[in-house]
Chain A
Amino acid sequence: MGATDILLMGLIIGGAVYLLYRSLWKKKGHCSGCEVGTCEMKRKYNSKDC
């Protein structure tokens, strides 16, 4: 296994970890269910709890 392989492996693993972080943690549990109207959304307008 050469240096290129190790670099490529690092990139792939890094990309996968970032994808996981982005979809699981950064979006904080948002899913398409939000479009059903039940998910928590960012507080907007002046309403207290949404």
Chain B
Amino acid sequence: MSTQIIEDRIQSGDNTPQSPLISRGDKRGVTVAVAGNPNSGKSTLINALAGTRLSVGNWPGVTVEKKSAIFEYEGTKIRLVDLPGTYSLSPYTQEEIIAGDYLVNEKPDLVINVVDATNLERNLYLTVQLLELGIPVVIAMNIYDEAVKKGYEIEIKTMEEMLGVRVIPTVATKKTGLDDLLKAVTDITDGTFSHQPKKLNYGADIESAASAVEAQIRNSYPKLTEKYPLRWLAFKLMEKDSHTMEEINIGGTISFVDEKTEHLRKAHGEDIESIMADERYALASGLAHEVLKKPEFRKMEITEKIDKIALNRFLGIPIFLAAMWLVFKLTFDVSKPFADWMNSTASGPFKRWAEVLMSLIKAPDWTASLVTDGVIAGVGSVIVFVPVIFAMMFFITFLEGSGYMARAAFVMDRAMHAIGLHGKSFIPMLLGFGCNVPAVYATRTLENPKDKALTALLIPLMSCGARLPVYVVFIGAFFSAHAGTVLWSLYVMGIVLAVAMGLIFKKTLFRGEAPVFIMELPPYRMPSFKSLMIHTWEKGKHFLVKAGTYILAVSILVWFLLNLPWGVEQKRDSYLGKTGQIIAPVLEPLGFGSWEAASSLISGLIAKEIVVGTMGEIYVTKAEEEKKERPSFREDLRDVVVSFGTAAKAAALNVFSTPGISSLSAEEDEKRAGLKGEIQKAFTPLSAYAFIVFILLYMPCVVVAIAMSRSSARGNGSGSPLHTK
């Protein structure tokens, strides 16, 4: 394929309606919207076409925002716009509004309608609506290999003739059919292929009413016909689509529509919207029956077999809890040796090299201390947990990609109903295991303002990746023999407390019944290794960015607060120490009323992992005193390489070890040195567990608070998690 990426732009801050290079009608480029049902593979298709890294996942609703990528194909610059997955273009969900608004207002040159070949009938409903818009459409018959494997026969030619659009079988995950798809797109946009979609017939009654409404619009509101596709507008007015009516702003003057549709309502005994929906379903169903042949005898598929167990009403939740336990066990076993390697490298050779470098440039003593005891001790204490965070994100991404996370939401539906929510609210909560910030924003995919607000309030109880370093350092120090189980207990405690808090909220702030939960369960798929790696990186890199920005900044400030007033002898007499001493008595009943713990918790308000960084700085001097002789640079380097090999071997052995035997148990023999040793001296196992539970429960970090306030401030009810009417 001669596709060349010229730009990969996630449109997070771009307000320009279109790239100057890719304006409509411009010979140099075309804008192509990619629309389709949730989980039909739109983002995967764009990634395959343009080489981008848009997030994909084997669960519906991964894309809730428009994103775009620009690339070049045989001299044509193509701007692909990834629209959120929708089953229709009705204005009921945020995704439908975003997709519909874009198609109607931005009028892309062409729409690639990604259709899941294994669910043809359901997907064609959206196709029928897309054809109403009058925008050229090319159908990508995606996941075609799975349809063939199921024994489905899809008559592509017949479908093309019936709809008057090009239909291209594709397998986005294997990059099959993409050249044909791009050829079909450019054939239409450069006029080689005459695009003449068939006008789908909605039946005599609807067609005559629509014609009359169209005529009236043309006569009375000619300006509207310039802005909106006439047939689509007529349908929307007939359906009394509130979003469209609000947008065209002709208010009560559309009584003519009622006149034209009155007989329809009387004849069918239903409102026009239902009649139209029935007709669209009939068209989609008819089309599917014409072009699709299914095998007469269908054997039970692997997805159904697994779901019989995974979705069992008694086994579902225990299986979910077991899956989470396995994730934590594997996370620890795989990552801990690497974390230890990074810890020994950062606190040993790396620190020594920094000291040598500072002395070489003749830096003042205090700046050398700032670098080694502040920046390296602070940022280093957090950065050593990057392997743990990446391992956790890898396994969570695996669960997402396999399709199990959608099941988790399904099995939690009953528990969520108890607190007045439904299973769909559990999806933002699951996202919260990565980072609470996107999880708070993900609440806008929920339709009900009450659901949004309640879910956003419960999300901080989900243990985010930032809390992981604190958990790991304390679990490593006190509960190394049962590391996976203790970590699992914290995550489960978060979920249980969320349910308990939800029950309280349901009886006080958020009274009312939970709506019915309808969610598509995607088939189980084995995610590709490349995809797993990409998305693990996308999730995990956030922590590297944080380490280089505000963890660095806070480490510097904490160092100054520990060393001011200048020349202070004891850290407890420093500004930070004194502040910690003021707060410490409040924490005394919890079992950790020391100024060190209190000071760490203050800095943890910025970001939870800074608790570890601050402790690293507070305890650093004591640990350093134990260092005796200084190895040479070559010895250090050799030690770094050898210890990495040992870590890799330990990680591999841990994975195949008996469940419950974690790599951490081997560390019990290690001398009690460094941060872990200092923590062991300052806490008891009980107070350590109390401390990490406190980390789970005390106020969310500043960024989550900002996310919640921003969401709340948007204040129009439909988009605001914390704004209920």
Contact = CB atoms under 8 A, between A and B. Distances in A.
Contacts of B606: 20, 24
Interface in B686-720: 702-704, 706-707, 710-711, 714, 716, 718-719
Contacts of A8: 364, 367
B393 to A, nearest CB: 11
A19 B11 contact: no
A8 B105 CA distance: 54
Interface string A1-42: 100010011001101110110111100111111111111111
B97 A29 contact: no
Contact of A35 (B55, B370, B716): B55
Contacts of A20: 550, 553-554, 557, 606
A16 B12 CA distance: 26
Nearest to B57: A36
B182 interface: no
A41 B65 contact: yes
B472 interface: no
A19 B552 contact: yes
Contacts of B11: 41, 44
B542 to A, nearest CB: 4
Interface residues of A, number: 38
The interface centre, meaning the residue of A9, A34, A38, A50 with most chain B CB atoms within 10 A of its CB, is A38
Interface stretch (B168-176, B430-438, B518-526): B430-438
B386 to A, nearest CB: 14
Contact of A45 (B106, B364, B553): B106
Nearest to B102: A45
A29 to B, nearest CB: 4
Given A8-B367, A24-B550, A31-B703, A38 B442 contact: yes
A29 B101 contact: no
A19 B548 CA distance: 10
A24 B702 contact: yes
A18 B56 CA distance: 35
Interface string B422-458: 0000001001001101110110110000000000000
Given A23-B549, A40-B710, A33 B444 contact: no
B94 interface: yes
Given A41-B13, A44-B15, A49 B366 contact: no
Contact of B431 (A17, A22, A38): A38
B662 interface: no
Contacts of B296: none
A16 B702 contact: no
A5 B545 contact: no
Contacts of A29: 437, 703-704, 706-707, 710
A29 B712 CA distance: 13
A37 B545 contact: no
A22 to B, nearest CB: 8
A37 B366 contact: no
Nearest to A47: B101
B102 A39 contact: no
B718 A49 contact: yes
B414 interface: no
B35 interface: no
B15 A13 contact: no
Contact of B435 (A1, A16, A24, A31): A31
B438 A13 contact: no
B556 A30 contact: no
B14 interface: yes
A32 B549 contact: no
B641 interface: no
B541 interface: yes
Contact of B97 (A30, A34, A40, A48): A48
B553 A41 contact: no
Classify chain B: how many residues form its interface, as a range.
35 or more
Interface in B633-651: none
B703 A42 contact: no
Given A31-B542, A49-B718, A37 B703 contact: no
A22 B167 CA distance: 49
Nearest to A34: B12
Interface in B43-69: 53-55, 62-67
B6 interface: no
A39 B441 contact: yes
B442 A16 contact: no
A31 B545 CA distance: 9
B538 interface: yes
Contacts of A1: 366, 566
A23 B97 contact: no
Contacts of B719: 48-49
A48 B431 CA distance: 24
Contacts of B366: 1, 5
Contacts of A38: 64-65, 428, 431, 438-439, 441-442, 445
A38 B431 CA distance: 9
A45 B33 CA distance: 13
Nearest to B719: A49
Contact of A37 (B64, B437, B439): B64
A9 B714 CA distance: 40
B10 interface: yes
Nearest to A30: B12
A29 B92 CA distance: 28
Contact of A42 (B15, B434, B442): B15
Given A20-B606, A37-B54, A45 B65 contact: no
Contacts of A49: 94, 97-98, 444, 714, 716, 718-719
B437 A31 contact: yes
B560 interface: yes
B589 interface: no
A31 B431 CA distance: 13
Nearest to A41: B12
A37 B55 contact: yes
A45 B15 CA distance: 7
A42 B441 contact: no
A50 B98 contact: yes
Contacts of B54: 37
A28 B105 contact: no
B252 interface: no
A23 B103 CA distance: 35
Given A1-B366, A29-B703, A49-B94, 15 more contacts: A13-B557, A16-B552, A19-B550, A20-B550, A24-B606, A28-B706, A32-B435, A33-B435, A36-B55, A40-B444, A46-B102, A47-B97, A48-B97, A49-B716, A49-B719
Interface of A: 1, 5, 8-9, 12-13, 15-17, 19-20, 22-25, 28-50
27 contacts: A9-B560, A16-B557, A20-B554, A20-B557, A23-B546, A24-B550, A28-B710, A29-B437, A31-B437, A33-B438, A33-B439, A33-B539, A35-B538, A36-B55, A36-B431, A37-B54, A37-B63, A37-B67, A38-B64, A44-B66, A45-B17, A45-B101, A45-B102, A46-B102, A47-B66, A48-B719, A49-B719
